[in-house]
Amino acid sequence: MISIRQIHPVFAGEVSGADLTKPFGAAEVAAIEAGMDRCAVLVFRDQRITDDQQMAFTQNFGAIENAKGGNITKDDQYRLKQGMVDVSNLDKEGKPFERDDRRRIFNLGNRLWHSDSSFRAIPAKYSILSARSVASPGGNTEFADMRAAYDTLDDGTRATIEDLVCEHSLMYSRGSMGFTELTDAERAMMKPVRQRLVRTHPVTGRKSLYLSSHAGNIVGWLVPESRDFLRDLNEHATQRELVYTHRWRQFDLVIWDNRQTMHRVRRFDETQPRDMRRTTVAGEAMTAAQAEAA
Ligand code: OGA
Ligand code: MN
């Protein structure tokens, strides 16, 4: 029997009674979906799963998102099989990246508050992250509840943002860190997409602020105005009361709803392996009409 205990005053739950090495029945899938709609982040402890088991579990909630276009790793450098997103600090041989490795520097972008795949026209539904080995101290992952962020805005701000649309691109998140050397092919891959700033959850009807480090401007606003306002909203959304900090143990698995949360990873000793493997559940719809191709 699956049960879920809330572990933070605002959101996030811990699941007990689930074994992810075994196929899930319809009732178990429904219990997790309902828990996700309520808690937005769910933690499972002690799940010693294989990549195939992780992918099978993921498919209970929708199709696996095609990872293409999400990073600068070349096909022949890939450590994991198709369907798995490698968010570790490891190269193909399992060794931590050198300090100046371009892939490492690109991955530093995960330390900025973001929502996975907000740079895709159809952004992700859930992300499912399995800790195969952990680096400590550090390497915590923090989550912010964007429904609570929306609910605690003042009326004027809520009215201002209701119909705003932002442009999101990996170019903006990486650019904000000073990572600006991109090939023409990478630039083409990072073409901005449009996302609403306020989303409505398809099941619960709750509204949330849809922010991400990938958001670089608000359509129709000047860039400095956009950045100033987005910075303000991000500050509001990530105030400590609205943040759950996950301290990883080996074989933890965490699911989050990218439509209702942001997350970021904190610093850790990068000479140690931190083997984190993600699967992503594809979203079902665009949040905004896309601009005509230039
Ligand atoms: C991710 C991510 C954070 C981490 O998997 O999408 O941002 O803790 N990872 O590695
Ligand atoms: Mn992420």
Pick the residue whose CA is nearest to atom 7 on ligand 1. Answer: 110
Q: What is the DSSP string of 10-74?
A: SS-EEEES--TTSPPPHHHHHHHHHHHHHHSEEEE------HHHHHHHHGGGSPBPP-TTS----
Q: Which residues pair with 268 in a beta bridge?
A: 138
Q: Is the link from the previous residue into 137 a cis peptide, with omega within 30 of 0?
A: yes
> Ligand 2 centroid to 278 CA: how many Å?
9
Nearest to 186 by CA among 171, 167, 165: 171
The set of residues, in sequence order, having a beta carbon less than 8 Å from that of 189 and lying 6+ positions away, is 69, 170
The yes-or-no verdict on residue 2 having pLDDT over 90 is yes
What is residue 216's three-state secondary structure? strand
Helix, strand, coil in percent for the chain, rounding step 5: 30, 25, 50
Q: Can you tell me the distance from the alpha carbon of 20 to that of 36, in angstroms, rounded to the nearest whole number? A: 16
The label of the residue with tokens 């901005």 reads: 192
> Ligand 1 centroid to 71 CA: how many Å?
13
Pick the residue whose CA is nearest to atom 3 on ligand 1. Answer: 265
> Ligand 1 centroid to 276 CA: how many Å?
8
Question: Side-chain half-sphere of 159: how many Cα atoms within 13 Å?
Answer: 3
> Average pLDDT, whole number, for the chain?
97
pLDDT per residue as tens digits for the range 41-65: 999 999 999 999 999 999 999 999 9
Asked if residues 2 and 17 have their Cβ atoms less than 8 Å apart, the reply is yes
pLDDT of 292 reads 75
Structure tokens, 5: 């205990």
Structure tokens, 108: 């530093």
Counting ligands in written order, the one closest to the CA of 118 is 2
Pick the residue whose CA is nearest to atom 4 on ligand 1. Answer: 265
> Ligand 1 centroid to 110 CA: how many Å?
6
Lowest mean pLDDT among 9-13, 66-70, 163-167: 66-70
Shortest-distance atom of ligand 1 to CA 248: 8
pLDDT per residue as tens digits for the range 220-278: 999 999 999 999 999 999 999 999 999 999 999 999 999 999 999 999 999 999 999 99
pLDDT of 136 reads 85
Which residues, chain by chain, have CB under 5 Å from ion ligand 2? Answer: 116
Shortest-distance atom of ligand 1 to CA 129: 5
Residue to probe by mutation, ligand 1, list 84, 125, 276, most atoms within 8 Å of CB: 276
> Ligand 1 centroid to 74 CA: how many Å?
19
Q: Can you tell me the distance from the alpha carbon of 283 to that of 280, in angstroms, rounded to the nearest whole number? A: 9
The yes-or-no verdict on residue 141 having pLDDT over 80 is yes
Measured CA to CA in angstroms, residue 219 lies from 31, 115, 207, 225, 236 at distances of: 39, 19, 20, 11, 21
Structure tokens, 158: 């809520």
Over residues 1-6, mean pLDDT: 96
85-91 contacts, C-beta under 8 A, 24 or more apart: 85/277, 85/278, 85/279, 85/280, 86/277, 86/278, 87/129, 87/276, 87/277, 87/278, 88/273, 88/274, 88/275, 88/276, 88/277, 89/135, 89/270, 89/273, 89/274, 90/273, 90/274, 90/275
Asked if residues 132 and 273 have their Cβ atoms less than 8 Å apart, the reply is no
Asked if residues 70 and 82 have their Cβ atoms less than 8 Å apart, the reply is no
Nearest to 161 by CA among 117, 126, 197, 195: 197
Res. 293 pLDDT band, cuts 50 70 90: low
For the structural domain made of 3-280, what CATH number should be given? 3.60.130.10
Q: Can you tell me the distance from the alpha carbon of 260 to that of 249, in angstroms, rounded to the nearest whole number? A: 24
The yes-or-no verdict on residue 215 having pLDDT over 70 is yes
pLDDT per residue as tens digits for the range 156-199: 999 999 999 999 999 999 999 999 999 999 999 999 999 999 99
Ligand 1 lining (C-beta closer than 6 Å): 87, 110, 116, 127, 129, 141, 263, 265, 276, 278
> Ligand 2 centroid to 288 CA: how many Å?
21
Strand 215-218 vs strand 243-246: parallel, antiparallel, or unpaired?
unpaired
Residue to probe by mutation, ligand 1, list 73, 110, 116, most atoms within 8 Å of CB: 110
Pick the residue whose CA is nearest to atom 2 on ligand 1. Answer: 110
Over residues 209-224, mean pLDDT: 98
Q: How many CB atoms lie within 10 A of CB 216?
A: 21
